[in-house]
C-alpha cells in the first residue's frame, strides 16, 4: 500500500485545511460534522498545526461538544500562544459551560497577547457584565468601542450596563448608536424601549417596542412590556392583544399570566366607569 512521505502528508493536510472554509454560526449540523471529520484527519497527519486545532475546537463548540472544544483550543494556544482568536473561542466554550471565571481568564490571556483587539475587550465586557462587575464591564465595552467604533453590539451592551446603573440618558445614547450601526438588531430596540419607559416617554417606548416585535416576533418580554405601556395609556385593546401574545409565546410564565390578568381587570374597570 502506498503511504505518502511525511513531507507530502503535511502538504496534503495544509491543503485540506486551506480548502475548508471557516465555520459560521448558520451552518447546519451536517456541515459541522463533516468539517470535524476533515479537521481530525488533518490533525492526525500534522498534530502541531495550531490553526487546524483552533478550527476543530470551533467546530466542536458549534456542535455542542464543549469538552472537545476546550481540549482543542487549549492545544491550539499551547502551539501558538499569540493567536487571540483561540482565546476568544476558548472563552466562548467556557461561557457555554457557565464557567465565567475560566472564560475571563482565557480572555485576559487574549488581551495580553493582543491588547488592541476590540473583540477580546468586547467579550471581556460580556463576561464581566454576567458576573455583575458593572464598572469593569463598562470599561471593557468602552475600550472595545475605542478600538472599533462601528461595533453596534458593543454600543448596545454598553447601553444595557449603563441602564443597570440607572444612567438612562447614557443608555439611550448608546442604543441609538447601536441602531444606527445595526438597524435590524431587535435587542437594541428592546432596551431603548425600556429606557423610554423609565423616562415616562410612552410614545417613544411604544414605537421602539413595536419595532422590536416586528424584528423579533418571538420576543415575549417585548410583548409584555409593550402591553404594559399600552395599558398605562388606557389603550386596553392593544394591551390585551400584546399580553395574550406574550402568554402564547411563553405559556408557563406566571408573570405574563399575571400581567394579562391585571390588564383585563383594569380594562373592565375602565369600561364600567
pLDDT in tens, 158-192: 999 999 999 999 999 999 999 999 999 999 999 99
- Express each pLDDT in 221-272 by its tens digit: 999 999 999 999 999 999 999 999 999 999 999 999 999 999 999 998 888 8
For residue 12, pLDDT over 90 is answered with: no
Please give the helix or strand (H or E) that residue 86 lies within, else none. helix 84-96
Give the separation between CA 125 and CA 239, rounded to whole angstroms.
Answer: 36
Do 211 and 243 form a contact (C-beta atoms < 8 A)? no
pLDDT for position 29? 79
Q: How many residues does the chain have?
A: 273
For residue 116, pLDDT over 50 is answered with: yes
- Express each pLDDT in 191-225 by its tens digit: 999 999 999 999 999 999 999 999 999 999 999 99
* Distance (Å) of CA 86 to CA 102, 107, 142, 162, 209: 14, 10, 23, 30, 37
Residue among 50, 49, 71 nearest 60 (CA): 71
For residue 129, pLDDT over 50 is answered with: yes
Question: What global pTM score does this model have?
Answer: 0.84
Give the position of cell 465595552: 141
Do 111 and 120 form a contact (C-beta atoms < 8 A)? yes
Q: What mean pLDDT value characterizes the chain?
A: 90
Residue among 272, 224, 216, 215 nearest 248 (CA): 224
Residue among 166, 111, 167 nearest 143 (CA): 111
Amino acid at each position: 500500500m502506498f503511504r505518502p512521505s511525511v513531507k507530502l502528508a503535511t502538504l496534503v493536510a495544509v491543503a485540506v485545511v486551506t480548502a475548508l472554509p471557516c465555520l459560521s454560526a448558520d451552518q447546519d449540523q451536517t456541515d459541522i460534522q463533516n468539517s470535524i471529520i476533515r479537521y481530525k484527519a488533518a490533525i492526525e497527519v500534522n498534530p502541531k498545526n495550531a490553526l487546524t486545532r483552533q478550527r476543530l475546537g470551533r467546530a466542536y463548540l458549534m456542535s455542542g461538544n464543549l469538552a472537545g472544544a476546550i481540549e482543542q483550543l487549549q492545544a491550539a494556544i499551547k502551539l501558538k500562544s499569540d493567536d487571540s482568536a483561540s482565546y476568544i473561542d476558548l472563552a466562548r466554550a467556557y461561557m457555554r459551560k457557565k464557567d465565567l471565571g475560566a472564560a475571563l481568564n482565557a480572555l485576559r490571556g487574549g488581551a495580553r497577547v493582543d491588547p488592541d483587539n476590540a473583540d477580546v475587550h468586547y467579550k471581556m465586557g460580556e463576561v464581566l457584565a454576567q458576573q455583575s462587575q458593572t464598572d469593569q464591564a463598562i470599561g471593557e465595552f468602552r475600550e472595545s468601542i475605542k478600538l472599533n467604533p462601528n461595533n453596534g453590539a458593543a454600543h448596545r451592551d454598553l447601553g444595557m450596563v449603563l441602564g443597570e446603573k440607572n444612567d438612562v440618558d447614557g443608555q439611550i445614547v448608546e442604543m441609538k448608536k447601536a441602531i444606527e450601526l445595526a438597524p435590524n438588531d431587535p435587542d437594541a430596540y428592546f432596551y431603548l424601549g425600556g429606557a423610554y419607559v423609565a423616562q415616562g416617554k410612552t410614545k417613544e417606548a411604544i414605537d421602539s417596542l413595536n419595532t422590536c416585535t416586528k424584528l423579533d416576533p418571538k420576543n415575549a418580554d417585548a410583548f409584555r412590556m409593550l402591553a404594559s405601556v399600552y395599558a398605562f395609556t388606557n389603550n386596553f385593546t392593544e394591551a390585551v392583544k400584546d399580553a395574550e401574545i406574550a402568554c402564547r409565546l411563553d405559556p408557563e410564565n406566571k408573570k405574563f399570566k399575571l400581567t394579562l390578568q391585571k390588564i383585563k381587570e383594569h380594562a373592565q374597570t375602565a369600561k364600567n366607569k
